[in-house]
């Protein structure tokens, strides 16, 4: 654990990408292969399931420290992270436990079959043999909230530099449902793990926001233009009569879309299709809020299946009969996709519409009108482009419509975590509902560090009530909130849900009397 703790300290002490890459490579050069395998697993989201109740961890820590509960709560509120709070309040260790990362992980996984008394004994003994950073890592692993500020790109670049492998090959090797007990570090890093089963997806090809004038892109006939849809980007895989549906977040979502799985199962051949999973009814794409009603349900009732039918708008084909097509131009891949869908004629899988246009000036109007069909804007893809792993500037661009905006007032604030744990960075906003206020959105981004400090001072001076870490504040600060979409929602007091809300600007020129009214906001819903 010592080497891993040193790595975490190094990563947390810098925001420079090159320094993080150097720290990761240094760790990989020193750590045993089993530890390196667990490092990759943890940094790609393959955490073990939580086998210890975090409420018990709090109780055990309070037994040791004899701190009153209110003081612990205040400390937790100030720090913003449970694992860190526990590490800070516990007394220094009396012993020194020397175990590798893989040994710790195996013991943590083994807690699944232990009694509560055995779990308590293990946790207390571990706390007593770990220093602050090791204890923090241990708590995060136990609590199932291991998150460190390293992007997937930084991780891949580090592994590429260490191994000499191509980045795209490594990305593909790390994807899918592999587990540390099923593969070795050598197999993973040398990409011998690329096709261990039929389910493995490819790394998604992503687009950059358009940063050029349309005229600078070249000839219009060199580009494929499609609508950008707001659904769930997914890969639909059919290999050897098995069907898998992967989300862009590397989550296997096959069971959430049984009608799509059944359709693909009935098709012939082997293929991997990239497309957008959407709620579509009577040929109209529904608001994302409708699609969301289908997600993360244990069971899908006949009523839900009927009320919110699903279709896939297919963008691309990445593999056909075992052949990787990603190096072919998208014009060729799209022709193959069209032929496959024409021959099989799946009712709920359709090729995405290619937008016909003669000159660049026509596109702006098409983009502006895209919200009318619940589209986010346009995708621009060079017809000769390959299917890259991740983003590559120049080949694919996304050109989104301007966001919708409302004016709302700050009513709740909560402190952030990490370097922002001393400041209020998490905000809830409200709008008018008659002569009252109703909460409409939460937002965590959009303010500068200077503005965050200003807001935090206001909250400290004008807090009305405390609810754990949350502060109710005087309704005085008005902000312009931007969002991508809006829909009716029974889960929100306001009756509406905003899609991707964020702070656009602090409206110091406006008072609470000038914020928007919920009934007017509802008129934005199509």
Q: Tell me: the pLDDT tens digits for 375-420?
A: 999 999 999 999 998 888 889 999 999 889 999 999 999 887 666 6
Instruction: Give 435-477 pLDDT, tens digit per residue.
Output: 899 999 999 888 998 999 999 999 999 999 888 778 999 999 9
Decide if 152 is inside a domain: no
- Of 94, 128, 143, the position where a domain reaches its end is 143
Last residue of a domain, one of 400, 431, 462: 400
Of the residues 365, 382, 400, the one at which a domain ends: 400
At 485 the pLDDT is 84
Q: Is residue 261 part of a domain?
A: yes
Tokens at 378, concatenated: 């346009």
Name the residue range of residue 45's domain.
2-143
In a domain, 248, yes or no: yes
Average pLDDT over residues 413-439: 86
Kindly give the residue spans of alpha helices, DSSP state H, lying in 164-284.
Answer: 167-174, 185-189, 258-266
Query: Residue 27's pLDDT band (boundaries 50, 70, 90)?
Result: very high
Residues 256 and 388 in one domain: yes
- Report which of 87, 85, 132 is spatially closest to residue 468, judged by C-alpha positions: 85
Q: What is the mean pLDDT of residues 191-208?
A: 78
The pLDDT assigned to 188 comes to: 84
Instruction: Tell whether 40 and 134 lie within a shared domain.
Output: yes
- Shared domain for 293 and 383, answered yes or no, is yes
Q: What are phi and psi of 35, to 5 degrees?
A: -70, -40
Where is average pLDDT lowest: 32-41, 195-204, 456-465, 507-516? Answer: 195-204
Q: What are phi and psi of 405, to 5 degrees?
A: -135, 150
pLDDT at residue 191 greater than cutoff 80 = no
252: domain CATH number is: 3.30.470.30
288 and 422 housed in the same domain:
no
User: Facing residues of 244 across strands?
Assistant: 237
Kindly indicate the confidence band of residue 226, based on its pLDDT and cuts at 50, 70 and 90: very high
On the CB side of 285, how many CA atoms lie within 13 Å of its CA?
22
Residue 62 reports pLDDT greater than 80: yes
Distance CA 36, CA 58 (A): 31
Pair 386, 434 in one domain: no
Evaluate if residue 154 carries a pLDDT over 70.
yes
| Active-site residue set | 228
Inside any domain, residue 159: no
Highest mean pLDDT among 288-292, 317-321, 416-420: 317-321
The confidence score (pLDDT) of residue 507 equals 93
Query: Shortest CA distance to 207 belongs to which of 375, 399, 400, 396?
Result: 396
Residue 195 has pLDDT above 60, yes or no: no
Q: Is position 155 within any domain?
A: no
Asked if residue 156 belongs to a domain, the reply is no
Percent of the chain with pLDDT over 90: 57
In Å, the largest CA–CA distance within the chain is 76
| Gap between the terminal Cα atoms of the chain | 54
pLDDT per residue as tens digits for the range 72-110: 887 877 676 788 889 889 999 999 998 999 999 999 999
The reply to whether 279 and 238 lie within a common domain is: yes
Residue 418's pLDDT is 61
Provide the 8-state DSSP code for 62: H
Q: Which residues of 392-418 are buried (b: 16+ CB within 10 A; e: fewer)?
A: eeebbbbbbbebbebbbbbbbbbbbee
Q: In whole numbers, what is the pLDDT of the chain averaged over residues?
A: 89
Q: What would the pLDDT profile of 234-259 be if each residue is shown by its tens digit?
A: 999 999 999 999 998 778 899 999 99
Angle at 147 between CA 144 and CA 150, to 5 degrees: 155
CATH of the domain at 453: 2.40.50.140
CA distance 386 to 257: 29
Query: What pLDDT sits at residue 311?
Result: 97
Q: Are residues 326 and 366 in the same domain?
A: yes
For residue 107 the two structure tokens come to: 């013991």
Please determine, for residue 277, whether its predicted confidence score (pLDDT) is greater than 90. yes
- Residue 263 and residue 305 in one domain: yes
pLDDT at 357 over 70: yes
Domain count across the chain: 3
Spatial contact of 326 and 387, defined as CB atoms under 8 Å apart: yes
- Structure confidence at residue 499 (pLDDT): 86
Q: Does residue 133 share a domain with residue 108?
A: yes
Question: Residue 167: its pLDDT value, please?
Answer: 80
| Beta-strand pair 436-443/424-433 | antiparallel
User: Does 160 reside within a domain?
Assistant: no
Characterize 62-99 residue by residue with b for buried, 16 or more Cβ atoms within 10 angstroms of its Cβ, and e for exposed: beeeeeeeeebbeebbebbbbbbbbbebbeebeeebeb
Looking at the structure, do residues 392 and 425 belong to the same domain, yes or no? no
Together in a domain, 94 and 241: no
Domain check: are 383 and 238 in the same one? Answer: yes
SS3 477: coil
Q: For position 78, which CATH number holds?
A: 1.10.3260.10
What per-residue confidence (pLDDT) applies to 391?
82
Least confident stretch, 115-124, 164-173, 396-405: 164-173
With respect to residue 194, please indicate whether it lies within any of the assigned structural domains: no
Q: Is the Cα torsion angle 288, 289, 291, 297 positive or negative in sign?
A: positive
């Amino acid at each position: 654990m010592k080497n891993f703790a040193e790595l975490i300290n190094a990563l947390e002490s810098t925001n420079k990408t090159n320094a993080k890459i150097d720290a990761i490579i240094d760790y990989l050069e020193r750590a045993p292969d089993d530890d390196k395998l667990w490092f990759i697993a943890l940094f790609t989201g393959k955490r073990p399931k939580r086998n210890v109740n975090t409420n018990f961890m709090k109780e055990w820590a309070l037994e040791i420290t004899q701190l009153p509960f209110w003081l612990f709560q205040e400390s937790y509120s100030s720090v913003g992270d449970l694992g860190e709070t526990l590490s800070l309040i516990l007394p220094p260790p009396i012993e020194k436990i020397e175990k590798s990362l893989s040994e710790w992980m195996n013991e943590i996984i083994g807690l699944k079959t232990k009694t509560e008394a055995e779990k308590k004994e293990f946790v207390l003994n571990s706390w007593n043999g770990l220093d602050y950073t090791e204890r923090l890592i241990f708590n995060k692993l136990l609590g199932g909230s291991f998150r460190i500020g390293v992007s997937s790109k930084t991780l891949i670049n580090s592994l590429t530099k260490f191994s000499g492998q191509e980045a795209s090959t490594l990305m593909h090797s790390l994807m899918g449902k592999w587990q540390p007990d099923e593969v070795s570090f050598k197999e993973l890093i040398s990409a011998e793990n690329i096709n261990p089963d039929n389910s493995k997806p490819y790394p998604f090809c992503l687009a950059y926001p358009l940063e050029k004038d349309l005229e600078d892109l070249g000839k219009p006939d060199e580009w494929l233009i499609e609508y950008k849809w707001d659904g769930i980007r997914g890969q639909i895989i059919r290999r050897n009569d098995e069907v898998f549906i992967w989300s862009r977040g590397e989550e296997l979502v096959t069971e959430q879309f049984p009608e799509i799985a059944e359709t693909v199962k009935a098709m012939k051949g082997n293929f991997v299709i990239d497309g957008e999973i959407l709620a579509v009814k009577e040929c109209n794409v529904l608001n994302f809020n409708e699609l969301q009603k289908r997600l993360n349900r244990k069971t899908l009732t006949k009523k839900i299946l009927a009320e919110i039918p699903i279709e896939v708008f297919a963008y691309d084909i990445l593999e056909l009969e075992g052949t990787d097509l990603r190096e072919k131009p998208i014009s060729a891949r799209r022709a193959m996709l069209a032929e496959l869908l024409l021959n099989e004629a799946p009712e709920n899988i359709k090729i995405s519409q290619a937008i016909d246009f003669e000159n660049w000036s026509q596109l702006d109007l098409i983009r502006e009108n895209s919200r009318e069909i619940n589209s986010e804007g346009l995708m621009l893809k060079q017809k000769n482009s390959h299917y890259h792993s991740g983003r590559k500037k120049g080949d694919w661009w996304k050109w989104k419509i301007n966001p919708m905006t409302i004016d709302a007032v700050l009513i709740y604030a909560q402190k952030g975590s990490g370097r922002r744990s001393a400041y209020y960075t998490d905000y809830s906003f409200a709008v008018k509902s008659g002569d009252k206020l109703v909460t409409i959105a939460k937002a965590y981004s959009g303010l500068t560090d200077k503005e965050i400090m200003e807001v935090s001072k206001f909250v400290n001076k004008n807090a009305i009530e405390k609810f754990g870490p949350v502060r109710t504040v005087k309704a005085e600060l008005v902000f312009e909130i931007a969002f991508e979409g809006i829909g009716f929602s029974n889960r929100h007091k306001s009756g509406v849900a905003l899609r991707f809300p964020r702070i656009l600007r602090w409206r110091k020129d406006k008072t609470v009397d000038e914020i928007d009214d919920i009934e007017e906001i509802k008129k934005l819903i199509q």
